[in-house]
């Protein structure tokens, strides 16, 4: 048991949801009655022989030296002079920059201190915070900085994953804390690093907190740093410094226990005992630490079913983003002549997933809809039925039709998992997803890659529970095509243009906002003459015609969301063109990169006719794709000829 501060409230036969947050959120204080703090003597924790990592005064304050003050914690606290550093605006996914930026003097330390300055002291004083990450380069050094500043600000205890490893879902399961990750972005000395703070329910910190952090980075003058030695993160156990302590914990055990109480592991085992071949690509990222204990040791998968299962600081020179472009080795295996029955991959910090069948790709939009449609019968956690469903605005409408058929509350929210958290805490939402390969439920407050894989294995296992060895199994493609036959198919694709020049990308979005301001219901998009006010921006070749004519606009807007729980408003969340046949084109600038701007274009078309469901998505969507590029003048604004990634 490693992260039991919250799980003892979840692990019950009724799978109770997390209680709604109180009016004043607080982090859990130490509780000696819990197994985490009262277990048998822990292994001896060695301290590094090297000297402690130090945090220095900013160069502009070189004439000043740290001031040492007494502290009730029983350790010396150094007040290190510093000055504000530009570029510390926190986004929906935390602060992400190149490693070299974080290695600047006090860059990370300033942000961590600004975070503590942004929280009510009762939220962390003498309390417990969790610390972990995806194993990427700079995590080890960053962990020591975070531990010392946490101690300097009065935190009672830090739980840190062995070797600094904890997946984002595992941190969320433990009620939150610091996540050292740049998610799906590449790692290594020349690539990306990031830091994110998850709040009291394990959800990403809300804008009310991140805005305060940024404000405090603009006025920071000193950092509170405990004068303690570096902690050896390679050995399980507890080390104490006065009243402050650090416990290095197993990153897997309690997260696994939570999953065992969500899914029927015996049912999944029975599937893997049939002639069913499974492959999981950890992409040399954090789920490599979880794959063997979960899939091999507990579910009985063959050890060779785990690919790239050792977490590496540079992800093996790969890009840990589970999509058709960056997980191409897995894709080639699943599309080979005698490929496995099921394949899956997860990203850098373990919160994203990709699902494949033999020669078959499941879009993330379809994936969440299929999980929701099958959850009640295949997954014990949902035996009483989901409370509600939700998707991000750019995600296809496949989930909408499931909610309608099951008569469940449905929510369309902006991109960013924090918008789901409020709905979950209010008891309004059970299953949700984003087209950006994120899928999850209210078992935690983050998306969860391994959860999604186990959900799919549960569905396939349930469909094959009466099969005997040697009998033909219901496949991934069978499940998807049955779903399409029932609900219709949403052809969907996303075009990513990564690291565009920011000014040009912003001008493109501004242009689109001007365009929607003059758009009217009934405007026609395609090859029209002067009868439409927009004829000057779109003239398509004959082969690009919509199969039934041209596209007629239902509405165009810049998506605004009003949270039904707290009334907060999020505006300018994506420019949408929605047509009368249900087709959509959406444009967004993504905030998940560390350099330049990522332009994302989402293209969707609904097809109820089952005889057309087997068409290639790119061919089915070609008229809309051509239209999307023409409307946006993307090449003119960004200079980009081709997308970096197509999904």
Q: Could you tell me if 370 and 459 are in contact, meaning their C-beta atoms sit under 8 angstroms apart? A: yes
DSSP state letter for 94 = B
DSSP state letter for 196 = E
Q: 3-class SS at 412?
A: strand
Q: Which of 4, 93, 183, 594 is labelled catalytic? A: 183
Q: Partners of 129 in the beta sheet?
A: 158
Express the helix, strand and coil content of the chain in percent, nearest 5 each.
30, 25, 45
Tokens, residue 380: 């014990």
Q: Please give the helix or strand (H or E) that residue 405 lies within, else none.
A: helix 398-406
Degrees to nearest 5, angle at CA 243 with 242 and 245 = 90
**What are phi and psi for residue 634, nearest 5 degrees?**
-60, -45
Longest dimension (CA), the chain: 81
Q: Which residue, chain included where needed, has tokens 């010392």? A: 148
Pairwise CA distance, residues 458 & 220, whole Å: 50
Q: 3-class SS at 92?
A: coil
Q: Partners of 91 in the beta sheet?
A: 94
**What are phi and psi for residue 629, nearest 5 degrees?**
-70, -35
Pairwise CA distance, residues 243 & 235, whole Å: 21
183 is catalytic: yes
DSSP state letter for 634 = H
Alpha-carbon dihedral sign for residues 353, 202, 458, 294: positive
Q: Could you tell me if 610 and 484 are in contact, meaning their C-beta atoms sit under 8 angstroms apart? A: yes
Q: Could you tell me if 117 and 218 are in contact, meaning their C-beta atoms sit under 8 angstroms apart? A: no
Alpha-carbon dihedral sign for residues 531, 532, 538, 544: negative
Tokens, residue 464: 């094959």
Question: How many residues are listed for the chain in this entry?
Answer: 647
- The residues carrying an active-site annotation are 183
């Amino acid at each position: 048991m490693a992260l039991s501060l919250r799980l003892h409230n979840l692990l019950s036969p009724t799978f109770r949801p997390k209680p709604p947050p109180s009016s004043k959120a607080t982090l859990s204080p130490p509780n000696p009655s819990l197994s985490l703090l009262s277990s048998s003597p822990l292994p001896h924790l060695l301290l590094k022989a090297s000297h402690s990592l130090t945090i220095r005064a900013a160069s502009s304050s070189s004439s000043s030296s740290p001031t040492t003050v007494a502290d009730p914690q029983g350790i010396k606290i150094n007040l290190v002079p510093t000055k504000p550093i530009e570029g510390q605006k926190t986004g929906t996914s935390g602060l992400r920059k190149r490693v070299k930026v974080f290695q600047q003097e006090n860059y990370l330390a300033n942000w961590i201190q600004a975070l503590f300055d942004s929280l009510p002291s009762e939220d962390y004083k003498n309390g417990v915070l969790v610390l972990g990450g995806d194993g990427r380069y700079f995590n080890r050094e960053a962990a020591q900085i975070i531990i010392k500043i946490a101690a300097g600000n009065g935190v009672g205890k830090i739980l840190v994953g062995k070797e600094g490893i904890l997946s984002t879902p595992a941190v969320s399961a433990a009620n939150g804390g610091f996540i050292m990750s740049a998610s799906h972005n590449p790692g290594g000395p020349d690539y990306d690093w990031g830091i994110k703070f998850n709040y009291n329910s394990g959800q990403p910190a809300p804008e009310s907190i991140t805005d305060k952090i940024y404000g405090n980075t603009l006025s920071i003058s000193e950092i509170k740093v405990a004068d303690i030695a570096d902690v050896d993160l390679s050995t399980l156990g507890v080390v104490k410094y006065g009243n402050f302590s650090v416990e290095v914990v197993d990153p897997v055990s309690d997260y696994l226990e939570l999953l065992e109480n969500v899914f029927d592991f015996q049912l999944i085992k029975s599937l893997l005992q049939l002639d069913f071949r499974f492959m999981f690509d950890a992409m040399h990222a954090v789920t490599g630490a979880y794959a063997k204990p979960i899939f091999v040791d507990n579910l009985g998968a063959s050890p060779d079913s785990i690919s790239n299962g050792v977490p590496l600081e540079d992800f093996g020179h790969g890009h840990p983003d589970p999509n058709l472009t960056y997980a191409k080795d897995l894709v080639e295996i699943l599309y080979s002549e005698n490929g496995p029955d099921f394949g899956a991959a997860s990203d850098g910090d373990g919160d994203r997933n990709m699902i494949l069948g033999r020669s078959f790709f499941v879009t993330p939009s379809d994936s969440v809809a299929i999980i929701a449609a099958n959850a009640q019968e295949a997954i014990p956690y949902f035996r009483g039925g989901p409370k509600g469903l939700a998707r991000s605005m750019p995600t296809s409408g496949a989930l909408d039709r499931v909610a309608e058929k099951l008569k469940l509350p449905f929510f369309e929210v902006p991109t960013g998992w924090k918008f789901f958290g409020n709905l979950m805490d209010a008891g309004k939402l059970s299953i949700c997803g984003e087209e950006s390969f994120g899928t999850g439920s209210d078992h935690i407050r983050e998306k969860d890659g391994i959860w999604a894989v186990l959900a799919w294995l549960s569905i396939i296992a349930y469909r094959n529970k009466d099969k005997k060895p040697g009998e033909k199994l219901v496949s991934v493609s069978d499940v998807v095509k049955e779903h399409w036959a029932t609900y219709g198919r949403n052809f969907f694709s996303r075009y990513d243009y990564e690291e565009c020049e920011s000014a040009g990308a912003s001008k493109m979005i501004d242009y689109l906002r001007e365009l929607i301001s003059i758009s009217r219901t009934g405007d026609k998009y395609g090859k029209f003459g002067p009868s439409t006010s927009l004829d000057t921006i779109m003239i398509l070749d004959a082969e690009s015609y919509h199969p039934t004519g041209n596209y007629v606009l239902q509405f165009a807007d810049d998506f605004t969301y009003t949270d039904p729980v707290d009334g907060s408003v999020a505006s300018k969340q994506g420019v949408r063109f929605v047509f009368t046949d249900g087709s959509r084109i959406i444009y967004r600038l993504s905030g998940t990169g560390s350099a330049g701007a990522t332009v994302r274009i989402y293209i969707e078309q609904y097809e109820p006719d089952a005889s057309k469901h087997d068409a290639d998505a790119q061919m089915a969507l070609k008229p809309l794709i051509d239209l999307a590029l023409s409307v946006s003048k993307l090449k003119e604004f960004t200079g980009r000829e081709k997308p970096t990634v197509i999904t």
